[in-house]
Amino acid sequence: MMNEREMELMEFIERREYLRLRKELSEMNEVDVASFLQELPAEEAAIVFRMLPKDLASDVFAEFETSMQHHLVGVMTDKELYDVVNDLAVDDAVDMLEEMPAFVVQRVLKAADPAMRKTINLFMKYPEDSAGSIMTPEFIGLKANMTTGEAIEYIRKNGEDRETIYTCYVMDEKRVLIGVVSVRTLLVSKDDVLVSEIMDKNVISVVTETDQEEAANLLKKYDFMSLPVVDKENRLVGIITYDDAMDVIEEETTEDIERMGAVEPSETPYLKTPVSKLAKNRIVWLLVLMVADMISGGILERWQEAFAAMPILISFIPMLTDTGGNAGGQSSTLIIRSLAMKEIELSDWIKVWWKEVRVALVCGVILASINTVRIWIMYPGQIMVGITIGIAMICTVLMAKSVGGILPLIASKLHLDPAVMASPLITTIVDAGSLLIYLNTASALLHI
């Protein structure tokens, strides 16, 4: 939906007041311009896009969704494409090309400067999800024997086309990373101080093969604005900026949430994902869990006679199994999130289990008491049924919280994604477990 500002811009388009439109757009933030253009029909968007001033155009282009970029590459002239592509940050260009069909990649690479083309080709070779795949080569590199004054002068001359100038990296003559210094430190130091005197020699860096999530978490942990990426000889090849790191963290969190909801993660936004893809991402888990549910079905089938003898027992099944599922899901949710936030380690498993057991006892006893009293009131003369449900409830919650607390840790130990072990699978395991607990308790106490 359009906001007021966008409605106003629409009117300029309708009245063909293009000069006025161009002026308004030039004053807006590129993020807002991109989101406005994406609201327009594709052809109109292309017309307006080509009106934008040159430097705004490439900033806006970098903000577009892939489908829009794809469309624009198709309608731009070679000259227009040249301007846009060579003004893009290398990481944005690589990001875009990774999603494009081969003939679009060809056209874009042809439009790029030889130097830009070489860098893009090099960067596209890093494996997906590696630190190399999200880094940019546009950083400020200083020499240790520069003075602060010289360093500032260097930044003033070369800062224009660097992704971030605020953290500068110091390299020796072989481009080996030997120090880091912030622009702030440079600015507040005297002009004649040597960079080597004020730089921090303990540089925290990653190699190009490091997992992008690990790199992003490192950057977040230290609140860095950028993180240097080195090759195996410790030569600086690029930096990861904080905004890209935050995107990685958000993406990984979304994947975790989707896995916890028994959905295969998708890279496209919900409304842009076709039905067939959405169905494919969900059917596998639905099938696996449905088959697993047959265990519960089998248990119920074997106890058919008990239900025939005491049909009232059937009506407590949803309450016991659902409470088990909910109790287990609560535990697994907390443990999975704590693992993702590095608040819990594998070695904490005894602490986790002991905490869950105590929480389960508290919750189980409360739930059981309420139920027993309720059954005692609602079903006069059936006090043994009430006691059966109470005992089954306590045991179910204990079992559910133990499974929910420990299963994600086991997954992590086995180098599986703990999120995959979350609520749905745990619900299914706990379902079968709670039925066994229920029916065996009933058999022992009610002699059926």
Q: Does 243 bind a second copy (CB under 8 A)?
A: yes
Q: Does 358 bind a second copy (CB under 8 A)?
A: yes
Q: Does 448 bind a second copy (CB under 8 A)?
A: no
Helix (H, G, I), strand (E, B) or coil at 233: coil
Could you tell me how many residues of this chain bind a second copy (CB under 8 A)?
108
Q: Does 426 bind a second copy (CB under 8 A)?
A: no
CB of 367 to a second copy, least distance (A): 6
Query: Which residues make Cβ contacts (< 8 Å) with residue 394, sequence separation at least 6?
Result: 361, 364, 365, 367, 368
Token pair recorded at residue 372 = 């027993």
CB of 77 to a second copy, least distance (A): 30
Closer CB to a second copy, 39 or 80, in the complex: 39
CB of 337 to a second copy, least distance (A): 5
Q: Contacting a second copy (CB under 8 A), which of 107, 117, 143, 282? A: 282
- What is the per-residue binding string for a second copy in 53-82, x denoting contact by CB under 8 A? ------------------------------
Closer CB to a second copy, 165 or 445, in the complex: 165
Q: Contacting a second copy (CB under 8 A), which of 304, 350, 414, 447? A: 304
Q: Does 36 bind a second copy (CB under 8 A)?
A: no
| CA distances from residue 322 to 177, 278, 317, 393 in whole angstroms, order as listed | 57, 27, 8, 11
On the 0-12 / 13-18 / 19+ scale of CB atoms within 10 A, 425 is buried
Q: Identify which of 370, 321, 138 has the alpha carbon closest to the alpha carbon of residue 238.
A: 138
Q: Does 411 bind a second copy (CB under 8 A)?
A: no
Q: Does 117 bind a second copy (CB under 8 A)?
A: no
Q: How many CB atoms lie within 10 A of CB 47?
A: 14
CB of 412 to a second copy, least distance (A): 14
- Given a contact cutoff of 8 angstroms between Cβ atoms, the answer to whether 140 and 155 are in contact is yes
How many residues does the structure list for the chain?
Answer: 448
Q: Does 28 bind a second copy (CB under 8 A)?
A: yes
- Given a contact cutoff of 8 angstroms between Cβ atoms, the answer to whether 127 and 208 are in contact is no
d(CA 408, CA 413): 9
CB of 122 to a second copy, least distance (A): 25
Q: Does 383 bind a second copy (CB under 8 A)?
A: no
Beta strands in 131-231 (DSSP E): 139-142, 164-171, 177-182, 206-207, 226-230
Closer CB to a second copy, 94 or 313, in the complex: 313
Q: Does 254 bind a second copy (CB under 8 A)?
A: yes
CB of 41 to a second copy, least distance (A): 18
Q: Footprint of a second copy on residues 161-180 (CB under 8 A)?
A: 165-166
CB of 442 to a second copy, least distance (A): 14
SS (H, E, C) 99-129: CCCHHHHHHHHHHCCHHHHHHHHHHCCCCCC
Closer CB to a second copy, 51 or 287, in the complex: 287
CB of 11 to a second copy, least distance (A): 20
Q: Contacting a second copy (CB under 8 A), which of 38, 66, 234, 253? A: 253
CB of 332 to a second copy, least distance (A): 7
Q: Identify which of 247, 403, 420 has the alpha carbon closest to the alpha carbon of residue 324.
A: 403
Q: Does 20 bind a second copy (CB under 8 A)?
A: no
Q: What is the biggest distance separating any 2 CA atoms in the chain, rounded to whole angstroms?
A: 94
Q: Footprint of a second copy on residues 260-279 (CB under 8 A)?
A: 260-263, 269-271, 275-276, 278-279
- Given a contact cutoff of 8 angstroms between Cβ atoms, the answer to whether 98 and 70 are in contact is no
Q: Does 435 bind a second copy (CB under 8 A)?
A: yes
Give the 3-state secondary structure percentages of the chain, helix then strand then coil, rounded to 5.
70, 10, 25
On the 0-12 / 13-18 / 19+ scale of CB atoms within 10 A, 333 is middle
CB of 267 to a second copy, least distance (A): 12
Closer CB to a second copy, 118 or 284, in the complex: 284
Q: Left, alpha or beta for 235 (phi > 0: left; psi -120 to 50: alpha)?
A: beta
Q: Contacting a second copy (CB under 8 A), which of 51, 283, 373, 444? A: 283
CB of 128 to a second copy, least distance (A): 21
